[in-house]
Structure 1
Amino acid sequence: MSSANKKLLDVSDEKCPSGASTPVLSWSPLPQRKTLRFLQRETKKDSSDGSEKLYPNCDVNIWLRSCEEEIIHPLEGVVSGEIPKWLNGSLIRNGPGSLKVGEEEFIHLFDSSALLHRFGINNGKVTYQCRFLQSKVFQKNWSARRIVLTEFGTKSVNDPCHTIFQRIASIFKKETSDNAMISVYPFGDELYAFTEVPIIHKINSETLATEGRVNVSEYVSIVNHTSHPHVMNDGTVYNLGMSIYATGPHHIVVCFPKSMDPDISMFEKARIVAAVPARWSLNPSYMHSFGITENYYVIVEQPLSISITGVVSAKLTNEPIAGCLKWYHEEYTRITIISRQTGKLVKVFQAEAFFYLHVINQYEKEDHIILDICIYKDPSVLDAMYVETMKSMQKNPDYAKMFRGRPARFVLPLNPDKMTSSPKTNLVKLKNTRAKAHYLPNGDIYIQPEKLCNLGCETPRINYENYLGKPYRYFYAISSDVDADNPGTVIKVDTYTKSTKTWCEPNCYPSEPIFIPNPESKFEDDGIVVLSMIWGGEDTNHVGLLVLNAIDFTELGRAEFETRSPVPKCLHGWFLPQK
């Protein structure tokens, strides 16, 4: 690991990176850029002779399975232990469901056809079902038995029946894939499947049937949005997107107020409540999530950017969008604070370059904003999800490094002391944190994080209902350490003590942990953590629901199911309590 990358994970190093500079609002050529897959080729070395697995405890094939038969009529699970009787509702999950279309195969995990899972929980009993999201691209692919539309990393195959003139004509009426296989979120009483294209699908939370398709860009001017909107306690939903203004691309926050009129949808009431210019006008940052506090929106502009000219070119040449992502490794990460009251920029901070997918939580404290986020030194984790890379991971000595990330805490002083003759003075005035901030010679503020634990954490969740955007103590995650003794470990992190509790069992791979408070909870972790789980190796047709005591991380109960076809690992989900 280079010294520059080491600094991200070693907060004792106080040196400022040489690449730190003034924020750039207009685009200028950035020579130190790298596209995806270049990172992979750059780090790949000759492996061992292949006789031994480099990561014997990790079965990456759990991601590469393809569901061959939907389960429309619920299966009843075999329960062991005790599922709390008060836990009644539906755990809905979303994720990759099939890498195959006819004789063809997608080449990136993000292209896999979306598969929805449902665990119905009622009075200590649990049922399971799964169905493919009936997106337009899914229907076209499976009707044609080939890959019809180009996805994130996979190029579509031309229709062999088309003439050269028909193929040229098709360039000018390109469709965008609506394969929403990342997450699910509620809008009022309705549930929608999400990806970063602003086309979402309404899901029946009882049957998993796809009941509708909403193009959000028809209600508010956006070209994309994150897969992780924020759902407030009053039902209002906020999401971060990108819109093209006359002056260039802007990052915008869209508010979807909860509608009290059944004849008016939340989408019809959508409005832009904040907008700031993208850092680089021709290369806006890629963002998968964002933060919200009582008074502010928090936008993290990482140096992984989307080339607008590249996107235009890719549309014309039918190339995957993955090739339009550029990594400016010598630039800094920019964190922008926007007022929720005015929608205007309040303050900008900069940090060493890092890649991220998921913000954990964020809150205000004593004139500071605390921002917790799962960070990586670069975006090679996206390269690690190419199918060929996953299939060969047991022979790649650098594969674990591609997933090496850690949860980090940044502390952003909102009203720091004025710059003095000693610019290295720490501007963070909070106690019990090793995070730092200081002025750069040009007057900008540079922030350095502290690690929250020394375990790789992904798909982090908190006591969302009660602690979103507020001071909190605990979060829950799954391991991202491929070379761990058990890569299927579930983790509870105490952000006060920087200590962890874990749960695991051999050959078992739980998904994103979702915290559910006890009906009369009295403190933050007074509740349970619910997870779906699958098993590795030959145990492909086996899925389960796991319930952990959130306080001590002991198992309370589980339900297991034998299915008629393989069950792949899922990504994100939502728990809907029974009404």
Structure 2
Amino acid sequence: MAEHKADYYPNCDSSVWLRSCEVEVTEPIEGLITGKIPPWLNGTLLRNGPGSLKVGSMRFKHLFDSAALLHRFSIQDGRVTYQCRFLRSNTYKRNRAAQRIVVTEFGTQAVPDPCHTIFDRVAALFKPGDSISDNAMISLYPFGDQVYAFTEAPVIHRIDTLTLDTLERKDLMECVALVNHTSHPHVMSNGDVYNVGMSIIKGCLRHVVVKFPFTEKGDMFKEAHIVGSMKTRWMMHPAYMHTFGITQNYFVIVEQPLSVSLYRTFRNQLSNQPLASSLKWFPQHKTHVVLISRHTGKEINRYQTDTLFFLHIINCYEKDRSLVVDLCTYKDAKVLDAMYIHAIESMQSNADYAEWFRARPKRLEISLDAPPLTYIQPKLLVDLGCETPRIHYDLYNGRPYRYFYAISSDVDAEHPGLIIKVDTVMGEAKTWWETDCYPSEPVFIPHPDAKEEDEGVVISALVFGTDECATGLLVLDAATLTELARACFTTPSPAPKCLHGWFLPNNLT
């Protein structure tokens, strides 16, 4: 009789990432409240993330390919309701109509379409908004009083913040000729929105910064324009970017050695291969930090640090002729491989899996007077795996700050479902955990009369390992990470774990 081999990560239930919602919650369901929700906390938490791995008898191969599922937690007078609906992207509608995967995704090849000739595929190269998946399952951001679902493709989708209906499909190739963009634009205190993407300028591919000026009556997209640009380090291998930073005087671009091979992209488009095979890792090259002036729009300096991979910048700020860049770093890009469905399913027998997910928050302190390509030694902020970081965004984005909140990326931790609060000044951390409970990105909401940076609450959507048809909303005191309240819901079908979202106070819903 074969001897059973123990799981490498017995405390981590990976099934929370493998669920497929089968029944949407279109009418709000009431949550069971324990504890007391602060009376001043009223508004809507919107969430986005992978919702279904299934299309007919087929299944997606990567977590990034899962059909986008929108979630809505409405908080009002101590009560909480929950809804969820699939984003009605063109990809979603085409797949569901065919009952099979007919659009190639990040990691999944679609079934061949006999109606598409090689000439169709060549023509599609010049219309990325139509030719690649528009499954916007990463994040949600407000543009004025409207909210859009984002991924890194140039197409975004406007959603109804009350019903979660998909209202409009917008192709940014049509307003600012963006080939792609990051999933995390910056929303400024005056309502302006900035994002970084790639565009072709005078025949050359460049990383560009786009401004969407806030306007109460006009169209922020019609007014969009490029306000900064920089050359790519490698002409045929522009760097992959998921986030960027912004300070008082600079746009901060971290040009990492994970690139998008244009040759492979064109080849894959013609042969209907997944985008993931277009990525190329350059382990022999350092990571560059590039500064673009917010005043002139030109690259003014670049520095180098260790070879690393990152998805999320925590915050950036200027202080005493120095620039501070905090980000969640990995030693390489294996974390993308860790999100293949087969890798998730087999993680318990993979001794290397925890290292693939070994993110650490690090700080780069850069002298603004240093010469170009000065090496910057990263400093460890805390020795905990931190991902999906959030700060007191409204007051401290791009400014000196002290605290950030994150979820654990350490699958081999005693409590893999940690919520983490990091004190970047003291190098200390507070944590919250509950056995078999898996929180999502923690969102900080300040008290209306807050006098301290961490005076307010942190809210997070919950899923549970043993009960796949349960979700919840957790409310923590942001200063101490003690639980104040939670709302628990029983869903009609499995509740998948979400990625990113946005909180709308009542006056913005």
- Give the distance between the partners of 1:401 and 1:49, measured in 2 at CA: 26
Of 121, 130, 133 in structure 2, the residue corresponding to residue 171 of structure 1 is 121
Match of 1:435 in 2: none
Q: What is aligned with 1:255?
A: 211
Instruction: Describe how 1:497-512 pairs up with structure 2 within 5 A.
Output: 497-512=426-441
C-alpha contact 2:144 2:216 (8 A) present in aligned 1: no
Question: Aligned partners of 1:534, 1:260: CA distance in 2, in Å?
Answer: 38
Instruction: Say whether residues 1:543 and 2:492 are aligned partners.
Output: no
Determine if contact 1:50/1:395 at 8 Å carries over to the other structure. Answer: no
Report the equivalent of 1:113.
67
Evaluate the alpha carbon distance shift between residue 285 and residue 540 of structure 1 in structure 2; reply closer, same or farther with a 3 A threshold: same
Q: Which residue of 2 aligns with 1:209?
A: 165
1:265 paired to 2:219: yes
Helix, strand or coil for the counterpart of 1:219? helix
* Contact kept? 1:514, 1:531, Cα under 8 Å: yes
1:457 aligned residue (357, 366, 386): 386
Q: Does 1:137 align with 2:91?
A: yes
Structure 2 equivalent of residue 391 of structure 1: 345
1:275-290 alignment, distance < 5 Å: 275-290=229-244
Amino acid at match of 1:53: D
CA spacing shift, 1:371–1:133, aligned 2, 3 Å: same
* SS of residue in 2 equivalent to 1:447: coil
2:421 to 475, 484, 492: 492
Aligned to 1:357: 311
Question: Is 1:221 aligned to residue 177 of structure 2?
Answer: yes
Aligned to 1:553: 481
The answer to whether the 8 Å contact 2:306/2:378 transfers is no
Q: Structure 2: how far apart are the matches of 1:105 and 1:167? A: 25
Code of the aligned partner of 2:139: S
**Cα contact 1:332–1:350 (8 A) shared by 2:** yes
Alignment of 1:577 onto 2:477: no
AA at the equivalent of 1:234: N
Which amino acid in the other structure matches residue 390 of structure 1?
I
Residue type at the aligned position of 1:295: N
Query: How far off its partner does 1:51 sit?
Result: 2.9
> 1:389 aligns to what SS in structure 2?
helix
Q: Could you tell me which amino acid in structure 2 is paired with residue 573 of structure 1?
A: G
The CA RMSD measured in Å over matched residues stands at: 1.3
Task: Name the CA distance, whole Å, in 1 between partners of 2:119 and 2:213.
Answer: 41
From 299, 302, 312, the equivalent of 1:345 is 299
Q: How does 1:397-476 map to 2 (within 5 A)?
A: 397-416=351-370, 444-476=373-405
User: What is residue 237 of structure 1 aligned with on the other side?
Assistant: 193
TM-score by length of 1: 0.85
What does residue 152 of structure 2 align with? 196
Quote how far apart the aligned CAs of 1:170 are: 4.5
| Higher mean C-alpha deviation, range 320-329 or range 51-60 | 51-60
Unaligned stretches of 5+ residues in structure 2: 125-130
1:460–1:476 CA contact under 8 A, matched in 2? yes
Q: Which amino acid aligns with 2:412?
A: D
Q: Output one character per residue of 1:524-543: Cα deviation in whole Å (capped at 9) or x when no partner.
A: 00110010000003x10000
Give the match's secondary structure for 2:267: helix
Q: Write out the 4+ residue segments of structure 1 that deviate beyond 6 Å after TM superposition.
A: none
Whether 1:516 aligns to 2:445 is yes
Query: How far apart in 2 are the matches of 1:275 and 1:528?
Result: 38
CA contact 2:24–2:85 (8 Å) conserved in 1? yes
Match of 1:297 in 2: 251
- 1:529 aligned to 2:485? no
CA deviation string 1:337-356 (max 9, x = no partner): 11101111121100111000
1:50 CA drift (Å): 5.4
Alignment partners' CA distance in 1, 2:47 and 2:179? 25
What secondary structure sits across from 1:381 in the alignment?
helix
Work out whether residues 44 and 74 of structure 2, in 8 Å CA contact, stay in contact via their aligned partners in 1: yes
Q: 1:350 to 1:75 in 2, by over 3 A?
A: same
Where 2:422 maps in the other structure, the secondary structure is strand
**Deviation for aligned residue 1:169:** 5.3
Give the Cα separation in 1 of the matches to 2:6 and 2:120: 48
Q: TM-score, normalising length from structure 2? A: 0.97
Write the deviation string for residues 60-108 of structure 1: whole angstroms up to 9, x where unpaired: 1100100000000000000000111111111000000000000000000
Distance 2:144 2:119 in 1: 41
TM-superposed deviation, 1:116? 0.2
**Partner Cα distance (2:4, 2:475) in 1:** 38
Match of 2:76 among 110, 116, 122: 122
Aligned to 1:563: 491
Distance 1:49 1:211, change over 3 A: farther
| Deviation of the 1:415 alpha carbon | 1.3
Q: Which residue of 1 aligns with 2:264?
A: 310
Query: What SS is found at the alignment partner of 1:310?
Result: helix
Given that 2:134 and 2:156 are in contact with CA atoms closer than 8 Å, whether structure 1 keeps it comes out as: yes
One-letter amino acid of the counterpart of residue 229, structure 2: A
Deviation of the 1:260 alpha carbon: 2.9
Which of 43, 46, 57 is equivalent to 1:103? Answer: 57
Distance 1:391 1:49 in 2: 20
Following the alignment from structure 1 to structure 2, what is the Cα–Cα distance between the partners of residues 59 and 331?
36
- SS of the residue aligned with 2:96? helix
Query: Is the 1:90–1:578 contact (alpha carbons within 8 Å) kept by the matching residues of 2?
Result: yes
Aligned equivalents of 2:341, 2:416: Cα separation in 1 = 19
Indicate the percent of aligned positions where both proteins have the same amino acid.
55
Q: Distance in 1 between matches of 2:402 and 2:320?
A: 17
Give unmatched runs, 5+ long, in structure 1. 1-47, 417-438
Find the counterpart in structure 2 of residue 186 from structure 1: 142
1:173 is displaced (CA, Å) by: 5.1
Q: Which has the larger radius of gyration?
A: 1
CA distance in 2, matches of 1:171, 1:345: 35
1:74-113 aligned at under 5 Å gives the runs 74-113=28-67
- Other structure's SS at 1:546 match: strand
Once the two structures are superposed, residues 485-509 of structure 1 have per-residue CA deviations (whole angstroms, 9 ceiling, x without a partner) of 0110000000000000000000000
State the Cα distance separating 1:49 from its structure 2 match: 6.6
Q: C-alpha separation between the residues in 2 aligned to 1:168 and 1:444?
A: 44
